[in-house]
Amino acid sequence: MGKKRILWMDIAKAAGILMVLLVHTGRSFGPVSFFGGMFYMPIFFVLAGMTFHYRPEETFGAFVRKKAKRLLLPYFGYNLFLFLFFFVKNDLLAGRVGAQSLFPLLGILYSRNCLFPMEASSNVYFMQILNAPTWFLTCMFVSYLLLWLLMRTAKGSWKKALSLNFVLLLLAVLLHYLCPVLLPWSLDCALYAVSFLLFGMWLSREDAAERLYRRPWGILLAAAVFAGLSWVNGSVNMSVADYGRSMLLYLPVGGLGSLLVMELSLFLEKHTGLLAKACGFLGRHTLPVLCLHLFVYSLLGMALGLLGL
């Protein structure tokens, strides 16, 4: 696929980030929230897998530097901005600078919303400066590195990598059920997310999304299976290691949901013109939207409060 932008893929990213925006309003939108919550994180991993290219001549160090520039520089840049803003607003101007003022820095370094799963009776919440969504950037970074190492071990063979991925998936399941804490940089989640990356690689190699688009009955069947499995599995939240009733069941749920969004994106690209271009523009700028939308929500809330709305 090279470096050329593919409009329908950008539209699919836009669909994912729009669901993030809806879910993070704190309101329920019924079936939209429920079914959207099934794909709004997996789709970014699946799309990343579709554009991933393993190059045997590329060293691990070079690959790490490339992904760090793409993911870690924005991560620390946006988080530093948020830390300084709230440090000045809540501590410096209020004259109460102390050790607790630096606690958000620990959250930035740990890069996880909380220390324990959400259902824990007592928890430690790290990312309290409206930066919780940025966990995704470090998780994606770790996932990319795991995928590269997987492909190097498999000597570039996608089929061998798929077989070896069983080890990563098994480790993810064991950590989920045996490790009492959520690991830094979402290592436990990254081990799991490699499966979505590999699914994206398969979709790209087989042109599966485009081929399915030409088979409406196949789309209807995929939609029916997705809806049924989603209902069985229940709501999920990958950021805090909540995969619903089954981690293994959520793999086809997240994969099918992502694929269905791609089918919708292909339809929009072919039939909606200006709307497709607008969605594509949003899809090309998901990173700043992901990192700053809670901050913008907060500013809007304060503005509406001042207006008495």
| Start-to-end C-alpha separation, the chain | 48
Cα of 148 vs its chain's centroid, Å? 18
Task: Concatenate the DSSP letters of all residues of 29-41 into one string.
Answer: -THHHHHHHHHTT
Contacts for 59-65 with beta carbons within 8 Å, 24 or more apart?
A: 60/148, 60/149, 60/152, 63/144, 63/145, 63/148, 64/145
Residue at 1 is within a domain: no
Express each pLDDT in 71-128 by its tens digit. 999 999 999 999 999 999 999 988 888 888 999 999 999 999 999 998 888 899 999 9
Residue at 106 is within a domain: no
Express each pLDDT in 156-197 by its tens digit. 998 899 999 999 999 999 999 999 999 999 999 999 999 999
The amino acid at residue 187 is: L
Express each pLDDT in 12-67 by its tens digit. 999 999 999 999 998 888 899 999 999 999 999 999 999 999 999 999 999 999 99
Looking at the structure of the chain, the number of domains it has is 1
d(CA 18, CA 290): 10
Of 8, 4, 6, which is closest to residue 267 (Cα–Cα)? 8
Residue at 98 is within a domain: no
Residue at 163 is within a domain: yes
Q: Which domain holds residue 43?
A: 7-56+134-303
pLDDT, mean of residues 291-295: 97
Q: What is the predicted pLDDT for the residue at 3?
A: 59
> Which string of b and e fits 10-28 if b means at least 16 CB within 10 Å?
bbbbbbbbbbbbbbeeeee
Task: Concatenate the DSSP letters of all residues of 163-177 into one string.
Answer: HHHHHHHHHHHHHHH
Give the Å distances, CA to CA, from 98 to 95, 131, 219. Answer: 9, 21, 57
pLDDT, mean of residues 240-253: 96
The length of the chain is 309
Residue 236 in contact with residue 37, Cβ under 8 Å?
yes
Residue at 209 is within a domain: yes
Tokens of 162: 């798929």
Residue at 41 is within a domain: yes
CA dihedral 246, 22, 182, 168 (to 10 degrees): 50
Residue at 235 is within a domain: yes
Express each pLDDT in 188-236 by its tens digit. 999 999 999 999 999 999 999 999 999 999 999 999 999 999 999 999 9
Q: Is pLDDT above 70 for 2?
A: no
Residue 237 pairs in a beta bridge with: 242
Q: CA 236, 44, 194: angle at the middle one, nearest 5?
A: 80
d(CA 36, CA 20): 9
Maximum alpha-carbon separation in the chain: 65
Task: Please state, as a whole number, how many other Cβ atoms lie within 10 Å of the Cβ of residue 34.
Answer: 16
Of 284, 250, 276, 291, which is closest to residue 42 (Cα–Cα)? 250
Residue at 129 is within a domain: no
Residue 293 in contact with residue 21, Cβ under 8 Å?
yes
